[in-house]
Structure 1
Amino acid sequence: MFFGMSTPDLLVIVVLAALLFGPDKLPEFIRNTTAFLRKVRDFSEQAKEEVRAELGPEFKDFEFEDLHPRTFVRKRLLDNDDLGIGELRDGIDEIRSALDPASEPAAPQEPRAPVDLRKRPAADGPSGERPPFDADAT
């Protein structure tokens, strides 16, 4: 709901704030807190604008969220085909079909689903056991 907190969590916070600050000082505390958050947000926006201005006009549409590695990979490599990845895939399919005459010719491929970049759990061995670890070997 609000910062990932449920309604009972918010009610507990409101009751604790009322008990800690009292009904007299609570409105003043809320005003001070919102003013502080507004100043932090303004400072952040000014810093972003200053960085954009220093980067120059070619980075006018630059977004700081694009610097996150997952977003960068998804936006730069997976969503557009500027690097010719689709042509490389088609070429590899042609080579595979030429090397393996028993296979059928590759049908034109539909756009592939996005690649899952989430971390996977550690793989266990075929019997479900973890491989042995020797601390002295490392």
Structure 2
Amino acid sequence: MFDIGWPEMMILVVAALVVLGPERLPGAIRWTAQSLRQVRDYASGATSQLRSELGPELDELRKPLDEFNELRKPLNDLRGMTPRSMVTKHLLNGDDSLFTGNFDTPGGTSSPDAATSYTPPAAAPPKPLAHNEKPPIDFDAT
């Protein structure tokens, strides 16, 4: 839920020590732990009460949520993909030597036919416009 590591935790403890002082810090920690435990007990009690009252109807309510989560699974697979990794994977067939500069590695395209396997077609230069000629309009781009 919260992404708090040890360095952040130590900063919070030091800040609490400065704000509360050493004499009130143990009581504040004790109060926070009791409050969190009580909230957790309330949440688990409400969940168990809801399950006991709804019974099999709860499964019917959860079915659309499960279907929605199944639809979201492909999106979760893309979560770790960055533009660089997508280009590397799909356009360069996993060869990241273009980004890393390591062209001599086995994953690099050091073979001559791999480097010349694709050449983009040469585009014809655009024709200059005549005097008072309006440029073409691309309605999809505007």
Give the TM-score normalised by structure 1.
0.45
Q: Highest relative contact order (Cα 8 Å, sep 6+), 1 or 2? A: 1
